[in-house]
């Protein structure tokens, strides 16, 4: 897919449909979730929990929530109780600032920190089924809640770092994220609609992947499609991008697990 994406972007670039100039912001009245750009079939798949493939990971995550692990022999539920209560709204305010690390962390890293420090268990590998499942289960508890990044001054330099990365032209195609998602949303690239890059439904099930995947995986895919070097999973640059994307999606509802092409 990344090679097809790159080839399609080259065609658009040569035809003048994508400009390498600095992208413009989306007007608040025009802001919408990627769901709005999906086909009726894809929307129906997301809307019906019995048809949404991402719910298989959510169910696995529910099992992991109650499973004791590590030398501490504790489960997530032992500390947090009923996830429907304790995790409600959590996904809507991550990434969040972690004082112990003096930087923002995303929801996946928070889960792994709890696993290592509270359960005394080996952290899950990035993009593993278990980490995606537990993240999807936790995020599912916030479905329908508006994204509301924390009003934390400590996050400001990291939001600005993410904004700079979003606007930076990169790779052999010399494109920024905004050239597609701000300037050309609603059009099609490699046969798929170009959304506005609002991370409302992560982890999401992508038909292209035939699997659930994290926002970091999607960001790495986009960088590869631009023929730029992709940051490693967990890199601070990816977390800064996540933080900025969540800040520009403020007010849109969480949809996890979303379904996309």
Query: Does residue 171 contact residue 224 with C-beta atoms inside 8 Å?
Result: no
Q: Which of 39, 18, 16 is nearest to 261 (CA)?
A: 39
Residues 6+ apart with CB under 8 A from 77: 65, 66, 83
| 104 beta partners | 97
Q: Which residues contact 159 (CB under 8 A, 6 or more apart)?
A: 240, 243, 244, 247
Instruction: Return the number of other C-beta atoms located less than 10 Å from residue 129's C-beta.
Output: 16
- Determine how many CB atoms are found less than 10 A away from the CB of residue 163: 18
**Contact (Cβ atoms closer than 8 angstroms) between residue 246 and residue 224:** no
**CA gap 224, 214 in Å, rounded:** 16
Alpha-helical runs (H) found in 168-214? 177-181
The sign one gets for the Cα dihedral 222, 224, 228, 234 is positive
The catalytic residues are 222
Question: Partners of 170 in the beta sheet?
Answer: 175
Angle at 203 (CA atoms; ends 57, 2), nearest 5 degrees? 115
Q: Would you call the peptide bond into 173 cis, given omega within 30 degrees of 0 as the criterion?
A: no
């Amino acid at each position: 897919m990344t090679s097809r994406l790159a080839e399609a972007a080259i065609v658009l670039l040569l035809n003048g449909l994508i400009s390498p100039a600095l992208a413009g912001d989306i007007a608040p009245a025009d802001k919408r979730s990627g769901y709005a750009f999906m086909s009726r079939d894809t929307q129906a798949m997301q809307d019906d929990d019995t048809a949404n493939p991402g719910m298989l990971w959510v169910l696995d995550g529910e099992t992991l929530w109650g499973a004791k692990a590590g030398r501490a022999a504790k489960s997530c539920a032992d500390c947090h109780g009923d996830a429907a209560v304790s995790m409600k709204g959590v996904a809507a305010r991550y990434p969040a600032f972690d004082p112990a690390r003096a930087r923002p962390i995303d929801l996946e890293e928070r889960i792994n920190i709890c696993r290592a420090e509270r359960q005394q268990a080996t952290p899950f590998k990035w993009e593993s089924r278990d980490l995606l499942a537990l993240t999807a289960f936790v995020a599912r508890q916030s479905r329908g809640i508006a994204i509301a990044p924390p009003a934390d001054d400590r996050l400001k330099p990291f939001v600005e770092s993410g904004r700079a990365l979003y606007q930076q032209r990169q790779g052999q195609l010399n494109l920024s994220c905004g050239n597609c998602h701000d300037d050309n949303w609603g059009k099609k690239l490699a046969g798929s609609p170009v959304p506005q890059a609002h991370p409302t439904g992560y982890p999401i099930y992508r038909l292209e992947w035939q699997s659930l995947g994290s926002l970091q995986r999607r960001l790495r895919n986009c960088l590869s499609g631009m023929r730029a070097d992709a940051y490693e999973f967990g890199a601070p640059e990816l977390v800064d991008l996540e933080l900025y994307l969540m800040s520009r999606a403020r007010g849109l509802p969480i949809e996890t697990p979303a379904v996309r092409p």
